[in-house]
Amino acid sequence: MTNRLSGKRVFITGAAQGIGKAIAEAYAAEDARLFLVDRDETLLEETAAALASKGTVLGFQAADISDASAIEAAVGKAEEQIGSINALVNNAGVNVFAEPLQTTDEEWQRCFDINLKGAWHCCRSVLPYLISEGGGVILNIASTHAFTIIPHTFPYPLAKHALLGMTKSLGIEYAPQNVRVNAIAPGYVSTQKVIDYWNSFPDPEKAKADTMKLHPGGRIATPQEIAMAAVFMISDECSFMNATCLTIDGGLSVMQHQ
Ligand SMILES: NC(=O)c1ccc[n+]([C@@H]2O[C@H](COP(=O)([O-])OP(=O)(O)OC[C@H]3O[C@@H](n4cnc5c(N)ncnc54)[C@H](O)[C@@H]3O)[C@@H](O)[C@H]2O)c1
């Protein structure tokens, strides 16, 4: 590796497993300092310990991103432990999938509290640090659900559409302060979240095979394939990309038919 992220002090949510963990590992390999947040304390401690054992400078805090005061406190702790934050990766998210007319108020609330408002809590707490640092970067992990719809996944795509809207809005608002705000839209990625999705079908093996068949290349992404783009997008090599979204789905959302 080439120390592409030396000097970056990155706050990453949902970092205990899946895409967030892969991003943390890729950033650590490029010499970033990290502050990891996840609501799964046990997994978070394991991930942090594994990274620390390889020499990564990091801190971590178990917190739920839907809790604004917990996030505010975590950002303060991050500054004490790794220095003033100059990059944020809003990765934590959950699937909330229902039929529109069957969606309960509780499901609606949980979907937006985590997938949209949680990301906003982190932006609101971190932005003053980015501005006082003379600039910085926010990377939101959206989804191809931010611009396409899979039936029976309501209201998750609504929250991801709005997360893309927030990416554009904050990118424009804070460009004069040298803050870049972008998103990655992954398609299917092999994480626990997707395994849980397949397991929600009567025949999970068939559901998995059907997902693979949807893709022009016959497979889905690894978390590392998302993480390598995430390295570039917070790096100084990416200095003029702002208020936009990079799709990483193996071509799925462009293909009209198999
Ligand atoms: N896996 C995919 O196919 C896929 C595709 C497109 C987008 N995404 C998005 O990528 C992100 C990561 O997904 P993943 O597949 O790695 O998921 P995952 O379930 O494997 O990991 C998500 C992590 O986030 C944590 N988390 C969830 N809610 C939280 C909360 N409220 N506060 C703090 N931590 C919380 C979980 O504990 C978990 O460790 C999500 O935003 C997801 O919507 C995933």
Contact 63, 125 (CB under 8 A): no
Write down the pLDDT at residue 107. Answer: 98
How far apart are alpha carbons 86 and 197 in whole angstroms? 34
Q: What is the pLDDT of residue 257?
A: 85
Taking the centre of ligand 1 as the mean of its atom positions, its distance from the CA of residue 204, in whole angstroms, is 20
CA distances from 178 to 90, 223, 231, 242 (A): 19, 29, 19, 10
Reported as a pLDDT band with limits 50, 70 and 90, residue 2 is confident
102: CA distance to ligand 1 center in Å? Answer: 24
Q: For residue range 54-98, list pLDDT tens digits in order.
A: 999 999 999 999 999 999 999 999 999 999 999 999 999 999 999
Spacing, Cα 176 to ligand 1 middle (Å): 31
Is there an atom of ligand 1 within 6 Å of 17 CB?
A: yes
What's the 135 CA to ligand 1 centre distance in angstroms?
27
End-to-end, the C-alpha distance of the chain in Å comes to 38
Residues 6+ apart with CB under 8 A from 118: 13, 64, 65, 66, 71, 90, 92
In this structure, the residue with its CA closest to atom 19 of ligand 1 is 193
| Ligand 1 pocket, mutate which of 46, 94, 196 (most atoms under 8 A from CB) | 94
- Select the CATH number that applies to the domain covering 9-188+222-248 from these four: 3.40.50.720, 3.30.70.1430, 3.40.50.150, 3.40.50.300: 3.40.50.720
Domain boundaries, the chain: 9-188+222-248
Q: Is the Cβ atom of 59 under 6 angstroms away from ligand 1?
A: no
Q: Kindly state if the Cβ of 65 falls inside 6 Å of ligand 1.
A: yes
226 CB contacts (<8 Å, ≥6 apart)? Answer: 19, 22, 23, 141, 184, 186, 189, 248
Question: Average pLDDT in the 202-211 region?
Answer: 97
Annotated catalytic residues are 156
3-state SS assignment for residue 156: helix
Report pLDDT digits (tens) over 122-160: 999 999 999 999 999 999 999 999 999 999 999 999 999
What atom of ligand 1 comes closest to residue 144's alpha carbon? Answer: 6
pLDDT for residue 258 = 80
Q: Which pair of structure tokens corresponds to residue 61? A: 């805090």
The token pair that represents 169 in the structure block: 């809005």
The model's pLDDT over 46-56, given as tens digits with 9 standing for 90+, comes to 999 999 999 99
Q: For the residues 189-202, what does the mean pLDDT come to?
A: 95
Query: What is this structure's pTM?
Result: 0.98
Contact call for residues 27 and 34 (beta carbons, < 8 A): yes
Q: Is the CB of 143 under 6 A from ligand 1?
A: yes
Mutational pocket test of ligand 1: of 37, 39, 166, the residue with most ligand atoms within 8 Å of the beta carbon: 39
Express the helix, strand and coil content of the chain in percent, nearest 5 each: 50, 15, 35
> What's the mean per-residue pLDDT of the chain?
97
Please state, in angstroms and as integers, the Cα–Cα distance from residue 132 to each residue in 1, 107, 140, 222, following that order: 30, 37, 21, 36
Whether residue 1 is predicted with pLDDT greater than 80 in this model: the reply is: no
The residue whose CB lies within 8 Å of the most ligand 1 atoms, and thus the one to mutate among 11, 19, 21, 245, is 19
